[in-house]
Chains A and B, each alone.
Chain A
Amino acid sequence: GESVGLHLPTLSVQEGDNSIINCAYSNSASDYFIWYKQESGKGPQFIIDIRSNMDKRQGQRVTVLLNKTVKHLSLQIAATQPGDSAVYFCAEISYAGGTSYGKLTFGQGTILTVHP
């Protein structure tokens, strides 16, 4: 079936470095993508989103890039800090059966560890 996945399950960086987390998706009909951050013992938290009519979107220290040609999504974190250590998920919204109710499907998740 359709799926959203990640290339790297773990990423270890030094504080101050830039981090890049990648995600591949297979549902070409998806038009909305979201990155979530999950800290230990907490629920996933929204970071940034992007629609399929965009290639790039920037937030505070984070940038999401979307390449629809190769169905690839990435999250860039600038000047990574220890507080950025968490599991990061990409997710896509699909609308099945012609309904307006979206189903959020998550990818595998990448564990980001930031060393001081």
Chain B
Amino acid sequence: DTAVSQTPKYLVTQMGNDKSIKCEQNLGHDTMYWYKQDSKKFLKIMFSYNNKELIINETVPNRFSPKSPDKAHLNLHINSLELGDSAVYFCASTQNEKLFFGSGTQLSVL
């Protein structure tokens, strides 16, 4: 009964490929996020959606395209993967400012 679940947990791929990470929350929250955590553990917000509408879009390359089919899902599609995209990507959801995070997707671009 995981509150925020994301798949896959590990993703290893070649440069230039296109990949997607899926996220689902069963908390009934309206707002969902994608965060990127680099090798130094720094967490940086990428996107935020509220009830399927994009509300925060940080300076992220347009190779990254979030999609929210409904308020319980926020998927992240990445085109033309680069070495620098290697990181752990966290999905999160919130209702009243407290974020609940998924367990992360470790992306390795070779």
Contacts and interface: CB of A to CB of B under 8 A. Distances in A.
Contacts, number: 56
A111 B4 CA distance: 24
Interface stretch (A20-28, A41-49, A59-67, A77-85): A41-49
B45 interface: yes
Given A101-B50, A102-B97, A108-B42, A44 B31 contact: no
A104 interface: yes
B41 A44 contact: no
Contacts of A104: 33, 45, 97, 99
Interface string A70-113: 00000000000000000101000100000101111110110100
Given A34-B97, A44-B101, A109-B43, 10 more contacts: A34-B98, A43-B4, A43-B90, A43-B102, A44-B99, A89-B43, A101-B31, A102-B94, A103-B48, A108-B42
Interface of B: 4, 31, 33, 35, 40-45, 48, 50, 55-56, 90, 92, 94, 97-104
